[in-house]
Amino acid sequence: MSLADPIIRPLREDDGVNALSLGSAELKPLKSFLRKQAREYERASVARTYVIVDKQDVDRGGRVWGYASLVASEVHLGADHVPPVSRWPDGYSLPAVKLARMAIDQSLQGRGLGRELMSFMIALVQDHIATRIGCRLFVTDAKPSAVSFYTRMGFTMLDTEANKKSNQPVMFLLLDNKGLAARKQ
């Protein structure tokens, strides 16, 4: 079975999450989250999960071929690391949206679905979240194997020695309010 016509939509209670195959042992927690916690996090308003399914499954449960989850977050600003945001006092936190998890079925990796899902998530954050609440950063804790992917998507690694040495370094995308306002006109 393969994916003929992919769409991205919110996770549904009746989606088939068990068939997602990620291959690597490093990615097992991503599959486990989707199978065991994603729906519970939805019901509790802890995270919002978006899935890739076939277009025929837009209005019904379908086989999940990939997913991404968003949560509310913040980045604490200290003297040692400050994303390039003007006039923000040291020692405060900057509001953010966090890409908590993202995965694509191993049979579809390398075909651009990750890029498509990430572009969808960036647009969702910029156009529907950052325009309605105070939010300047889109952040993620990147697995080492995904750092180059996030870099290609426009993310920057938080520039501290501790972060660079971390097993999952924090990467961020500065949300441009001026660009958002210009696009809406």
Q: Which domains does the chain have, with CATH numbers?
A: 6-184 (3.40.630.30)
C-alpha Rg value of the chain to the nearest Å: 17
Using 50, 70 and 90 to split pLDDT, how confident is the model at 185?
very low
More confident residue, 34 or 175: 34
pLDDT digits (tens, 9 = 90+) for 39-94: 999 999 999 999 999 999 889 899 999 999 999 998 876 655 555 555 555 567 78
* Mean pLDDT, range 91-107, rounded to an integer: 89
More confident residue, 88 or 14: 14
pLDDT digits (tens, 9 = 90+) for 22-41: 988 888 999 999 999 999 99
